[in-house]
Structure 1
Amino acid sequence: MVELTGDRLIEVLAALASPHRLRVVAALAGGRVYVSQLARDLGISRALLQVHLKKLEKAGLVTAHLEFSEDGKALKYYEPAPFSLHLTPDLVAAAAATLSTADDGDALPKGTS
C-alpha cells in the first residue's frame, strides 16, 4: 500500500466503512471472481456491486482484469490487492498531520475538486 497520509487513510477507511464493501473484500479473499458470479454470491445487483467495486478499486484495495472466455465473452475479474492496515494512535497522529484541511472529514484530497 502507498504512503498512508491523512487523506489516504480517510479514503481507505471510507472504502471499508460499508457492510457491502466488507463483504466484497471478504468474498475476494478466497481468490479472483468475475463480476456476475460475485454479484450472485453476494446476492446484490451487478449495478450496485460495480459501485462498491469502483470505490474499493479507487482506494487500492482491489484490482480488476478483463479477460475473454473461449467463446469471446468479456469477463471482468476482481481480486484483492495486497494490503495491510495496522492502526495505532501514532500512525493516526502522523496521518492527521498531513490532512489537506482541518475540516471535519468532508474535505477533498489535494488535487481534486
Structure 2
Amino acid sequence: MKQTSDAPPSGEELLRILAALANPHRMRILATLWANGRNYISQLAREIGISRPLLHLHLNKLEEAGLVRSEMELSEDGKALNYFEVTPFEVLLHPHVIEQAAQSLPPENRKEDV
C-alpha cells in the first residue's frame, strides 16, 4: 500500500483497510509488529497469544489491505521462516476523504445495503 495524505485511497482500498482494522486481533498484530519490528509466525503467535493458523488468517487479511508485508527467509538450520512487518502507511479519515473514496466506488457498491 502506498497511501499518503497527498493521495487519498480509492473507495475499494479504504474499504479493505477499514475491514482489516475492524478486528481486535488484527489491531494487536499491527501494534505488536510496529512495537517489536518484523517477526515470524511462530514467535508472533506466542507474543500475541493466538494459534498460528488463526494468526496466519489475520496476517493474510492485513497483507491484502497493504498494511503488512511478508518475506520468506531460510534460518541457519535450513528452516523456511515467513517474516512479517508493518508496511509504512498513513490513512487520513476525514469526511472529504470518505466522500472522494465513495465517489470512486463502482455503481453496484453505491446501492443501499439491505
TM > 0.5 between the two?
yes
Asked if residue 64 in structure 1 is aligned to residue 67 in structure 2, the reply is no
Which of the residues 98, 101, 106 maps onto 1:92? 98
| Alignment partners' CA distance in 2, 1:42 and 1:105 | 35
Secondary structure at the aligned position of 1:77 is classed as: strand
Letter in 1 for 2:18: L
Structure with the higher fraction of residues in helix conformation? 2
Kindly state the Cα deviation for residue 88 of structure 1 after the two structures are TM-superposed: 0.8
Secondary structure at the aligned position of 2:89 is classed as: coil
RCO comparison, higher one (Cα < 8 Å, 6+): 2
Secondary structure at the aligned position of 1:64 is classed as: strand
Kindly state the Cα deviation for residue 104 of structure 1 after the two structures are TM-superposed: 4.4
Which of the residues 103, 106, 113 maps onto 2:111? 103
The equivalent residue for 1:43 is: 49
Structure 2-normalised TM-score? Answer: 0.87
Aligned residue pairs total 106
Asked if residue 20 in structure 1 is aligned to residue 25 in structure 2, the reply is yes
Q: Any runs of at least 4 consecutive aligned residues in structure 1 with deviations exceeding 4 A, and if so which? A: none
Secondary structure at the aligned position of 1:29 is classed as: helix
Please, what is the CA RMSD of the aligned residues?
1.5
Secondary structure at the aligned position of 2:90 is classed as: coil
Q: After superposition, give the CA deviation of every residue in 1:33-78 in whole Å (9 maximum; x if it has no partner).
A: 1100000001000000000000000110000011111110111100
Percentage of matched positions with identical amino acids: 50
Distance 1:90 1:41, change over 3 A: same
Distance 1:49 1:105, change over 3 A: farther
Name stretches of at least 5 consecutive residues in structure 2 with no aligned partner. none
